[in-house]
Amino acid sequence: MVPYAPTCAEPGTHPPPLVISRDLDCIFVHQRKCAGMAVIAAFGIDKRDPDFHFANDGVLAPEWNDHPELVERCFTFAVVRNPWDRFVSGWGYCRSTRDRPIVDVLRRPPLEGHDYRHVTRGQSETLYRPDGTLAVDRLIRFENLTHEFAEVCETIGLTGAVLRPVNVGRRPPYREVFDDEARRLFEQRFADDIERLGYSF
C-alpha cells in the first residue's frame, strides 16, 4: 500500500484544526459507539484539544461544508458497525434509554443532543452526501477493527499507534435482545444503514 502524501496545507497557510492529526492531514468522522474514542486515543488527541472536534460529525458538521477544499485534499475515514449491535451498545450506554425496554426506545427514541447521536442518528447520515455518494475515503468495519485500522495507519504513514479499549460496557449479544417487534421497528428506522453499509441481522 502506498503511503498517503499529505497535501492539505498550502505553504505558508494555517488550515483549521483536523480531528486526529494536523501532521498526517487526515480527518476522522467519529461515528458514535463504533470505537471512535479508541481510535482518537490511538492518535494521542485529548478531549480538550480543538482537533478532537473538527468535522467529527462528517457531512453534518459545518466544517465539512465550510472548508470543502481542505476536506477534499485530506484522507478521510470512519468506523462503521453492525447497526443492530451498535444500537444495543448505545441503548445500554445512554442515560435516557438504558432503563427502558428496547421496543419503547425504538418507538420514542432520543430526539436531540448526546443520546440522539449515540442511539437515534443513523451511521449513514454522517457518511453519505445528499446525492447518495460516500463522503469518506475509507470505511473501517468495527468487526475487523484491528486489521483495518492498521491498514489506515499504513496509508497515512502513522507508526506506533495502538488501539486500546475505551468506554467498553457489558451488554448482551444483540441477537438475544431483538424480538420480532423490535426487529420490525428497528429495520424500518434504520433501513438506510442496513442497505448502504451492507449488514444483515
For residues 143 and 84, what is the distance between their CA atoms, to the nearest angstrom? Answer: 13
Give the residue with greater pLDDT, 102 vs 44.
102
Give the residue with greater pLDDT, 160 vs 139.
139
The domain locations on the chain are 1-81+123-168, 84-121+170-201
Tell whether the model's pLDDT for residue 60 goes beyond 80.
yes
Mean local confidence (pLDDT), 89-105: 96
Grouping H, G, I as helix, E, B as strand and the rest as coil, residue 56 is: coil
**Cell for 25?**
492531514
Confidence class for position 8, pLDDT limits 50, 70, 90:
very low
Tell whether the model's pLDDT for residue 134 goes beyond 80.
yes
Task: Say if CB 65 and CB 56 are below 8 A apart.
Answer: no
Distant-in-sequence, close-in-space partners of 84: CB < 8 Å, separation ≥ 6? 174, 175, 178, 186, 199, 201
- Output phi, psi for 44, to 5 deg: 75, 20
For residues 27 and 20, what is the distance between their CA atoms, to the nearest angstrom? Answer: 6
For residues 162 and 146, what is the distance between their CA atoms, to the nearest angstrom? Answer: 9
Cβ contacts of 43-46, under 8 Å, gap ≥ 24: 43/158, 43/161, 45/19, 45/20, 45/21
Task: Say if CB 79 and CB 145 are below 8 A apart.
Answer: yes
Q: How many CA atoms lie within 13 A of 53 on its CB side?
A: 5
Confidence class for position 127, pLDDT limits 50, 70, 90:
very high
For residues 18 and 107, what is the distance between their CA atoms, to the nearest angstrom? Answer: 36
Grouping H, G, I as helix, E, B as strand and the rest as coil, residue 51 is: helix
Mean local confidence (pLDDT), 67-87: 92
